[in-house]
Amino acid sequence: MSVSSAGNGARQQVFVLVGGTGDLAMRMLWPSLAMLDQDGFLSDDLRIISVAREDCGTEVCVDRIGTAVTKRIGDALEPDTLARLRKRIVHVALDAAHDDWGAKLKAELGDIDRLDIVYFLSVSPSLFKPICEHIERAGLNKAPNRVIIEKPIGRDLATSKIINDSVAHAFDEARTFRIDHYLGKETVQNLIALRFGNIVFEPLWNAQSIDHIQITIAETVGVGERLGYYDEYGAIRDMLQNHLLQLLCLLAMEPPAALSSDALRDEKVKVLKSLKPITAENVLTHTARGQYGPGFADGHPVAGYEAEKGSPSNTETFVAIKAEIANWRWAGTPIYMRTGKCLPSRSTEIVVQFKPLPHSIFGPEAVANRLLIRLQPDEDISLTLMNKAPGLTAEGMHLQSLDLSLSLVKAFDSNGDKPPRRRIAYERLILDALNGNNAQFVRRDEVEAAWNWVDGIVKAWTDTHMKPQMYPAGTFGPVSGYRLIERDEGRTWND
């Protein structure tokens, strides 16, 4: 497929990647652009401007991009993809501290009235304000131009408002695309398909039939190079405020009236606003904080977070929360969430645990149904059902559980032997932003409602002096993480 200037009539599309030589750009964004190009999703005349402080010149910049793309997705690259991508790219050295930022970019852009510009600010949020000001002062912010920004959108509600206000000065809400890369993941998008494309789940999708839900995002890696950033944020701000709460919203929201961006996001906001506050009164039973100590994770010995930092720290690298949603659908059915670094395995999964039968004619052999949705490392959805154990026994009939499994890779394996390429989450999101579709981006009121709830938890930690408990690297978090769920009778994490 080959397209020209998608979405905005005769205007030529320009993708301005600010932070074009940075880590995220090299690991994720350039490889995503390369794949979109290869698959024919970029308009033929789309130009890409890489912006960075570094004056490395276009030749060096595209060489580095070529190396990074090959490293990330070399197996999937077709022979002419890199050459085509290279032709689109120009690197411009600009320093946000200098007043000529906008003028220099404008000179590179050419006739801006004929352009449809998408900015991706892959830089520290402290630069969002000066960069948006440069863009605005140079008149480069007018519709249909839009901006993509990424977390951390603040450290709390107050700081997120400052960031959002500074961006809003240049770009209205409809043209502000806040990325949560989890929303670009195939299986996360599939949650919407699963819930609202099938009738079988909806009548059971409530507190009457569901005992509880678990969401786990476990990582084997530690904080590594990002210690400076991480120590300021911790697991609650780095992962829970955004990725985990987005998953919670998709699982708990009411069916939207349409797949349009506002219909979807209105429903997500309602969930966030229905979360019961966690306060000093219940913070001990509803949250767990941990920090990895010495141990062994991801195949390597780990010195421990404080040893890596070289000084004491109160930052949590593990957090578990029991969330309760105060509405008719979910009252009485908690959602347990946890995430951490240096855990024993890398996995992201959701467990929807159904209630036991109201009356079992099979005795205790009948185990409650469970829906398991795995996002990582592989994508899989399986429903545990009770079955008659095959064969004949003197005592009569026995039950056994059986998984009805939908391996997404196998299900959509088109040619029988080669599994479809697993897309980078940013591919979907960059494509949507190019096409002006913001349904899978986070709206300002969502970010703020999420911060509002998270701020309450952080305050409760401070008020009760609740410090992170040490867990050995390579284990599933501190004891308090287990207690959080096991305190509620009959419930355990699906480790």
User: Which residues contact ligand BG6 (rule: CB under 6 A)?
Assistant: 219, 238-239, 348
Nearer to ligand BG6, 37 or 219 (CB): 219
Residues 6+ apart with CB under 8 A from 300: none
- Separation CA 148–CA 179 (nearest Å): 7
Nearer to ligand BG6, 90 or 221 (CB): 221
H/E run at residue 290: strand 287-293
Annotated catalytic residue, options 91, 181, 243, 286: 243
Task: Tell me the residue number closest to ligand BG6, measured at CB.
Answer: 238
E-state strands within 298-428: 300-302, 318-323, 335-340, 347-354, 370-376, 380-388, 399-407
Least CB distance from residue 26 to ligand BG6, whole Å?
A: 16
Least CB distance from residue 241 to ligand BG6, whole Å?
A: 10
Omega prior to 203 cis, within 30 of 0: no
Q: Is 465 a catalytic residue?
A: no
Asked whether the CA dihedral 5, 8, 10, 11 is positive or negative, the reply is negative
**Token representation of residue 133:** 């000001």
**What DSSP string runs through 58-73?**
HHHHHHHHHHHHHHHH
> In this structure, what DSSP letter does residue 139 have?
T
Strands 318-323 and 287-293: antiparallel
Nearer to ligand BG6, 153 or 458 (CB): 153
Residues 6+ apart with CB under 8 A from 265: 439, 442, 443, 445, 446
Nearer to ligand BG6, 134 or 289 (CB): 289
**What DSSP string runs through 25-83?**
IIIIIHHHHHHHHHTT-SBTT-EEEEEES---HHHHHHHHHHHHHHHHHGGG--TTHHH
Least CB distance from residue 73 to ligand BG6, whole Å?
A: 15
Nearer to ligand BG6, 20 or 234 (CB): 234
Nearer to ligand BG6, 238 or 446 (CB): 238
Q: With b meaning 16 or more CB within 10 Å and e meaning fewer, what string describes 204-243?
A: ebebeebbbbbbbbbbbebbeeebeebbebbbbbbbbbbb
- Type of residue found at 300: H
**Cα 91 vs. chain centroid, distance in angstroms?**
29
- Separation CA 328–CA 416 (nearest Å): 45
- Separation CA 91–CA 79 (nearest Å): 23
* Residue 469 three-state SS: strand
Nearer to ligand BG6, 89 or 121 (CB): 121
Least CB distance from residue 331 to ligand BG6, whole Å?
A: 31
Residue whose tokens read 């480790």? 495
Least CB distance from residue 239 to ligand BG6, whole Å?
A: 6
Least CB distance from residue 129 to ligand BG6, whole Å?
A: 21
- Separation CA 99–CA 176 (nearest Å): 23
Least CB distance from residue 235 to ligand BG6, whole Å?
A: 8
Asked whether the CA dihedral 416, 418, 423, 428 is positive or negative, the reply is negative
Residue whose tokens read 């402290």? 126
Nearer to ligand BG6, 228 or 358 (CB): 228
Least CB distance from residue 432 to ligand BG6, whole Å?
A: 17
Least CB distance from residue 462 to ligand BG6, whole Å?
A: 23
- Separation CA 353–CA 211 (nearest Å): 6
Asked whether the CA dihedral 202, 200, 183, 230 is positive or negative, the reply is positive
Positions annotated as catalytic residues are 243
